[in-house]
Amino acid sequence: MIVQQIENQSPFTTKDGSTIRSILDRTNAPVEEQSLAEASMTSGQSTERHYHKLCDEIYFLLEGTAMMDIDGEIREVGPGDAILIPPGARHQITAQSKLRFLCCCAPPYDHADVYFD
């Protein structure tokens, strides 16, 4: 059985500018097909608009509110919202307050699968 404590995971900055802590991924567990991380952003912070060629991504908001832009469709999101970001979709999230959310990726998050226009 693999059990990870988020407090034991070191944060790092992704290519799009968000700070994440891997909860379960290839670096800390024998997982091959997905990854789970916690992302955090400060009020007013935005990720850089980007897309993934391979990755299905799901954001699940835990704390705070944000404006979510997926392929030009913009919507306010908050705690309890789950957001699907399919491969190829250009996306950006802008925190309106301190923001914390889970990020699930399949296949697992990889810096090499982050693209900018």
35: burial class by Cβ within 10 Å (0-12, 13-18, 19+)?
Answer: buried
- Sequence spans of domains, the chain: 14-100
CA–CA separation, 72 vs 64, rounded Å? 22
CATH code of the domain occupying 14-100: 2.60.120.10
Q: Tell me: the pLDDT tens digits for 12-69? A: 898 888 899 999 999 889 999 999 999 999 999 999 999 999 999 999 999 999 999 9
Q: Any idea of the CA torsion for 13, 14, 20, 26, to the nearest 10 degrees?
A: -120
Q: What is the pTM of this model?
A: 0.93
